[in-house]
Chains A and B, each alone.
Chain A
Amino acid sequence: MAEHPWSGLACFPLLVPDFISEVERTQALGFLAAHEADFGATDRTDYWAGRTLTLPQVRDPATQTLLRDLQRRIIRTVHGVLEERLGPQPPLYADVINFARWPPGYELLPHADAENPGGEPHPYPWRHFASVIYLNDDYGDGAIHFPELGIELRPPVRTLLVFPGTLDYLHGVRPVTHGMRHTLASFLTFDPAHEST
């Protein structure tokens, strides 16, 4: 398995409080309230069905602009953190960004975003970093946990959380007990072939 210089850097998982403004959070939540139907129906046999909206599926121009701006800011933040610690870095590119909603009962078992245990092929090996922006906190549990690191937390709203896609950063989400958990998830890559358009 490839050894990545950023995996194990002390700064990851990176927490950036107040990454988005309250105005931006309100805009995102307003979009979600107005476009709930765009998610479609959830389906217990299809884990992600009815739970994500990617940038191309966002039908509101202002929200599209917001997501593109957030992608740029996330890249700038991560690139800056890497260059500060590792010296000059190649460009980072934004892969997918999507709203994710987590109804009661949903959880995510521990996994890595770019690697599988035992060197098994991963469907998204180019996802060098994952990021999550927390949009609300009126739900029960739904904590993110990193079993290998012994970390479990519910970051405050407006916080950005970033971590590498390597097995060092296995992570899962505890079951949501009530309410709807809303996040903005995105992935960054050094591979320009996987830049989202």
Chain B
Amino acid sequence: MTNSKVFACPVIGEAYEKVIHSSGLTVYFMKKQEKAKKAAMIAAKFGSINYTFTAPDGRRVTVPNGTAHFLEHKLFEGEKGNAFDFYAKTGAKANAYTSNDKTAYYFVCSDHFEENLDVLLSFVTHPYLTKENVEKEKGIIAQEIKMYEDEPGWQGYFTMVQGLYQEHPIRRDIAGTVEDIYSLTPEILMDCYNTFYHPSNLVMAVVGDVDKNVVFEAIDRYFPGNTDISVGDMPIIEPDPAGERYVEKAMLVSRPIFHLGFKDNDTDVSGKELSKKEMEVDILLEYLFGKSSPFFKELYESGVINHEFDCWYDLSDYFSFCVINGESDDPKKVERCAFEHISELKRSGIDEERFREIRNGLYGSLVMETDQAYSMANRMVGNYLNGAETFDAIEVLHEITTEDLQKRAEKMFAEERSCLSVIYPLKEE
């Protein structure tokens, strides 16, 4: 251990430690006394957007869509067997996911934490890719891809992202197409592994009633040296306006499904400022479109939308956008109404009382979330990759003013940076 810092949130009696291990690996450790569940996550800063990069030997490599996700599936395989076979002996719930900007592996367990941690670190540090086991995975992933092709919610969301962004690699499909993945070989996957899975490009988080020494002894074992390879940042060029203002697709759904996206143009923010921005946007989303908003009331009471309605903020180091999603027979009307409420907010400002209510609500949810081991591990990993610290959110919440919100609204919500995607019903013959 070379470098360690404690982050505390005294009002709720919680604290976590951030350690930069001698290998270059960043580790978050949050002790939760007497809790049953323990969670550990390790993530590589490698997602679907990293499709082109310089390998450690200097070669320029460009990979098909779906490569990061395929590698996620394959890392579970080890020379001595599948990681699931080992987890099976301990009863852990283990899984992994690949997003636009990261690949995360985790487990949640009540018992046998030490053995589970050993399994997790072992397979993530020991890739075992053979021609046979790569071929075998293609059938499974092809079915996963086909499942997503039939999911209207996912299709609507992804169509919106592709409309919103013009050049950004977020437009690339996380799972790829069946053709993409059939072109993958162990060599391509190893190029990715060697580039992205070294300690300084990984982050780990452990939450629960766990002995800290156990965690760091395991880390010492699996990350003995220091191989600091600079990955180099993904240069991202994205024009300001949305690529398309409207996109649509027909599928077997009973009622049109809409996703209205707003692309942020204030993306050069990091650290505490990023946490503040995240809280500002969360407050604005509830203020403008949440269940307590006049927008929701108006559209719900007139039957334009129903309870299948949600809004959220997708934020990373590489992209930042908001989504309003629901079912409606008249998605254009939802869009019009959203624009009206945004203009109204920009014109007349924020109602102080509602702002305080929403801030209270957000505070309560953030505090309640600290009871959940998996959520905290996931949040600490995500925040680290975005250059932020998890307790900053609770801290900055009370620094936000109505003026900040109004400024934020200008940057976050603009018609020319929005895209409406509609999945409309395809009638079966």
Report if A and B associate in a common complex. no
Binding site for A on B (CB under 8 A): none
Binding site for B on A (CB under 8 A): none
